[in-house]
């Protein structure tokens, strides 16, 4: 039992009807009392803060996060100054640039942020988002060659590129390359102009919690600073960087980054920007989803995110990016309606796989497997990650799901807290069990020959053996209780 778990029952309840254990987790009473006294908060609110590791000194900034206090100096990121200087040079010289982005929400938001920022400074910017099935994840030779053929002398990879050293080497002597990424690196960075990634092995910034859009935002700040230093804005207006925070907030939430530190400030301020509905693409998507209530993280994660992702999953990979970059409200509404239709199609495809996958997963869990591996012929690789997430939620086990085509499976995995699936997938690839594979603790992607499925499953079961002891449903962590008379509107407001 974790050190901060002080009881395995709450109000006499040990387990809910769904099978979830009720565990009481409390922070230090002294810290809770100190927070309540300093900030004049109800006891329940201060208890929740203490239970989540928020100290007395940090509580005020946690509740009212501001970029003025929390924004780091972009230069603490390795290679940032070189990247910013090169982007500033492209602006001054009027170069044609290219943005190569990933097909998920973080990639779309980070790419839209950077492309819109550079276009606002007068640059011509071409964008490319790879087709998930035809091109796969990350930079590829034909796409890069096409961008150079269109005149790009600078290529910026957003939310990808850290592991693409061989592919990026193809641009040597043709275009400079900058990578803005956040995925964990396994080795040295590519031999390119700059790799700005807080999770590269030699980065000491302590900003590993940033998503790629967050890295892109700091890059925009550093670029403006470089241009200001060079006198570029002596006769020109500086761009409104705060207006980009709606994209950073959306990406941070949808990429499931921790909402602490600067990320918390990004989301808090970004939601305020989003509420103004000044970005036609987001305004149109909010209209299509009929979002009527105050915008919050749930709006990003459950309304906007799945629809922006839908294009990259089963349709036009760049549809979400085009929506976010669109400046015409009529065109934006048409794009949003297309994404809504694609998202419904995605739901139908997902439902067609889910029943079969759940039956197989249930049998594996009943047999004592630590991890679930489910594969099926013709399953669309664009939805297998969602199916893996559903299985993980249902059985509280790390789950990998892959669609097979011509003897090769393309899959995704999702994990539970405390079980590093990404490291296991990387180790399996290094052991020769996978064609490709990588990820982070909670999510991974891979490709595999069908005949290696049993060996890969056995490897996961051995590597993640501790997961077999997990309860069949995730524990319910209770951090405070509230009496009926104490459940006032003011307490509800403060909790929210």
Kindly indicate the confidence band of residue 336, based on its pLDDT and cuts at 50, 70 and 90: very high
Q: With 0-12 CB in 10 A as exposed, 13-18 as middle and 19+ as buried, what is 103?
A: buried
Distance in angstroms (rounded) separating the CA atoms of residues 424 and 169: 28
Contact yes or no for 399/391 (Cβ under 8 A)? yes
Q: Which CATH class is domain 74-276?
A: alpha beta
Kindly indicate the confidence band of residue 3, based on its pLDDT and cuts at 50, 70 and 90: very low
Mean predicted confidence (pLDDT) in 198-206 = 97
Contact yes or no for 130/107 (Cβ under 8 A)? no
DSSP string of 247-308, one letter each residue = HHHHHHHHTT---SHHHHHHHHHHHHHHHTT-SHHHHHHHHHTT--S---HHIIIIIIHHHH
Mean predicted confidence (pLDDT) in 287-298 = 89
Mean predicted confidence (pLDDT) in 419-448 = 93
List, for residues 410-432, the tens digit of each pLDDT value.
999 999 988 999 999 999 999 99
Contact yes or no for 34/54 (Cβ under 8 A)? no
pTM (predicted TM-score): 0.90
- How high does pLDDT run on average in the chain? 93
**SS3 of residue 180 by DSSP:** strand
Instruction: From the options 1.25.40.20, 3.10.310.30, 1.10.10.10, 3.40.1230.10, give the CATH code of 368-476.
Output: 3.10.310.30
Kindly indicate the confidence band of residue 1, based on its pLDDT and cuts at 50, 70 and 90: very low
Q: Domain residue spans in the chain?
A: 5-52+482-495, 74-276, 368-476
Give me the pLDDT at residue 441, please: 84
List, for residues 109-157, the tens digit of each pLDDT value.
999 999 999 999 999 999 999 999 899 889 999 999 999 999 999 999 9
């Amino acid at each position: 039992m974790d050190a901060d778990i002080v009881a395995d029952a709450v109000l006499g309840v040990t387990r809910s009807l769904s099978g979830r254990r009720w565990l009481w987790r409390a922070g230090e009473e002294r810290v809770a009392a100190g927070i309540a006294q300093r900030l004049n908060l109800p006891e329940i609110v201060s208890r929740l803060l203490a239970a989540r590791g928020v100290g007395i000194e940090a509580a005020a900034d946690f509740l009212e996060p501001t970029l003025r206090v929390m924004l780091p100096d972009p230069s603490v990121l390795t290679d940032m100054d070189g990247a910013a200087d090169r982007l500033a040079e492209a602006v001054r010289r009027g170069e044609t640039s290219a943005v190569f982005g990933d097909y998920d929400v973080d990639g779309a938001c980070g790419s839209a942020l950077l492309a819109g920022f550079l276009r606002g400074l007068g640059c011509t910017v071409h964008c490319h988002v790879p087709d998930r099935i035809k091109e796969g994840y990350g930079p590829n030779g034909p796409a890069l060659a096409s961008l150079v053929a269109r005149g790009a002398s600078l290529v910026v990879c957003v939310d990808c590129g850290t592991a693409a050293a061989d592919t990026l080497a193809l641009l040597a002597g043709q275009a400079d390359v900058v990578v803005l990424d956040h995925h964990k690196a396994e080795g040295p960075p590519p031999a390119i102009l700059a790799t700005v990634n807080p999770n590269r092995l030699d980065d000491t910034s302590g900003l590993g919690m940033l998503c790629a859009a967050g890295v892109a935002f700091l890059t925009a700040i550093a670029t403006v600073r470089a241009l200001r230093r060079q006198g570029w804005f002596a006769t020109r207006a500086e761009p409104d960087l705060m207006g980009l925070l709606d994209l950073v907030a959306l990406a941070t939430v949808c990429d499931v980054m921790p909402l602490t530190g600067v990320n918390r400030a990004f989301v808090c301020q970004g939601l305020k920007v989003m509420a103004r509905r000044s970005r036609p693409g987001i305004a149109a998507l909010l209209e299509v989803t009929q979002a009527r209530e105050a915008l919050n993280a749930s709006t990003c994660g459950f309304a906007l995110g799945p629809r922006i992702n839908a294009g990259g999953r089963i349709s036009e990979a760049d549809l979400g990016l085009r929506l976010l970059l669109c400046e015409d409200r009529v065109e934006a509404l048409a794009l949003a309606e297309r994404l809504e239709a694609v998202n419904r199609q995605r739901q139908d495809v997902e439902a067609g796989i889910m029943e079969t996958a759940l039956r197989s997963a249930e049998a594996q869990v009943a047999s004592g497997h630590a991890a679930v591996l489910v594969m099926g012929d013709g399953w669309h690789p664009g939805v297998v990650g969602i199916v893996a997430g559903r299985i993980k939620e249902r059985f509280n086990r790390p789950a990998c799901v892959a669609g097979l085509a011509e003897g090769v499976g393309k899959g995704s995995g999702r994990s539970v807290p405390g079980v590093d699936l990404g490291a296991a997938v990387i180790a399996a690839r290094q052991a020769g069990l996978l064609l490709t594979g990588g990820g982070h603790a909670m999510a991974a992607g891979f490709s595999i020959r069908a005949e290696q499925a049993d060996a890969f499953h056995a490897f996961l079961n051995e590597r993640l053996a501790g997961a077999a002891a997990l309860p069949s449903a995730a524990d319910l962590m209770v951090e405070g209780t509230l009496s009926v008379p104490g459940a006032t509107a003011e307490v509800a407001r403060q909790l929210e």
